[in-house]
Amino acid sequence: MPYHRDYSFLEISKGVADALVRNCGWITAHVLFGKGRNRTTVDFLRQLADKSHVQMTRGHHACDICGWEDADYGNGEIWLEICGQYWRMPRMIWHYVADHEYKLPDEVDAALAVGDYTLLQTTTDCEGIPTQKVAIPYYEIAAFWDADRYDSLVEFDAAIRVAWNQSHSWKRDGSYGITLNDASSLHIHNLFAEDPDNFPDRITVTRIAPNKSLNRPPQSGAG
User: Looking at residue 174, what is its pLDDT?
Assistant: 43
Tell how strand 138-144 and strand 9-13 pair up: unpaired
More reliable by pLDDT, 139 or 222: 139
User: How confident is the prediction for the chain on average, in pLDDT?
Assistant: 77
Of the segments 33-47, 62-76, 145-159, 176-190, which one has the largest average pLDDT value? Answer: 33-47
Of 36-40, 58-62, 71-75, minimum mean pLDDT range: 58-62
3-state SS, residue 70: coil
- Read off the DSSP letter of residue 145: -
DSSP string, 18-46: EEEEEE-SB--TTS---B---SS-HHHHH
Domains of the chain: 9-120 (no CATH), 138-209 (3.30.70)
**pTM greater than 0.75:** no
Other CB atoms closer than 10 Å to residue 180's CB: what's the count?
A: 22
Q: How confident is the model at residue 42 (pLDDT cuts 50, 70, 90)?
A: very high
Query: Does residue 33 surpass a pLDDT of 80?
Result: yes
Query: Does residue 148 surpass a pLDDT of 50?
Result: yes
Q: What is the mean pLDDT of residues 104-111?
A: 97
Residue from 65, 108, 112, 70 nearest 92 by CA: 70
User: How far separated are the first and last CA of the chain, in Å rounded?
Assistant: 23
Q: What is the mean pLDDT of residues 111-131?
A: 71
